Amino acid sequence: MDIAAISGNIATVGYGLAAIGPAIGVGIVVGKTIEGVARQPELSSRLQTLMWIGIAFTEALAFIGIATYYIFTS
Amino acid sequence: MSHDTPAITGVLKRALLWDAIITGGIAVVAVVLGAIFSGGIGVVSALIGAVIALVFLGITAASIIFANRYAGGELFAGIFFAIVLGGWLLKFLVFILLAVVLKGQPWIDPLVLFLSLIAAVIGSLVVDVAVVIRSRIPIGASGS
């Protein structure tokens, strides 16, 4: 009996791995933004701008992660 | 609802405008390359990839602009993050569904579509960074 055998599409595992990084990234970006706004509400516009650029980068990783499966299996 | 316009709104609108311009440029290049390598199917795929990148990346900026309409209210922080992060989650669910649906279509070349998408995503990121670097947001600006 091979207890390490897996069945199904391995790409689903790939998506799970691709989702970890952006999830942590967005969590940190948004959490720190909330922290910053709580400390200095007058900086909220600046912090929102930086938050948006942070989210843009992390979501780009997620998009590429999802898209990779379709490139390599086409 | 407050009628203040937070300073970030101008930055985001400018970023959306430049995103559209750059994505349009990338779409033209992708359409030409798609036509060379895959013919008519490549043209359609390249266009769809560029449009997906523009719409899905633009949703983040658009959601922040929309959420800031509630600036000044007591529940602003909750509403803001619910709209921005809720929009983000919804966007990815729709993106995955779209990817699954499009992959099986005979009129799509998945390779061209997703290479075009990735090129447009990277182009948008470059533009976003450039817009933010050039933006001037006064400290103490409305938006809290």
**CB spacing of A45 vs B85 below 8 angstroms:** no
Q: Are B124 and A56 within 8 A, CB to CB?
A: yes
List pLDDT tens digits, range B82-105: 998 899 889 888 988 888 888 778
At residue B5 the predicted structure's pLDDT band, cuts being 50, 70 and 90, is low
Mutation site, A40, A43, A49, interface B, largest B CB count within 10 A: A49
A18 contact partners, CB below 8 Å, separation of at least 6: A61, A62, A64, A65, A66, A68
Domain boundaries, chain A: 18-72
Residues in B closer than 8 angstroms to A53, CB to CB, are 128-129, 132
Domain boundaries, chain B: 8-134
List pLDDT tens digits, range A21-61: 888 988 999 999 989 988 988 888 888 888 888 888 888 88
B127 contact partners, CB below 8 Å, separation of at least 6: B15, B18, B19, B22
The yes/no answer on whether domain A18-72 falls in CATH 1.20.20.10 is yes
pLDDT, residue A73, reads 65
Residues of A with CB under 8 A from a CB of B: 26, 30, 34, 37, 41-46, 48-50, 52-53, 55-57, 59-60, 62-64, 66-68, 70-71, 74
- pLDDT higher than threshold 80 for residue A15: no
Nearest by CB to A41, from B115, B129, B144: name it.
B144
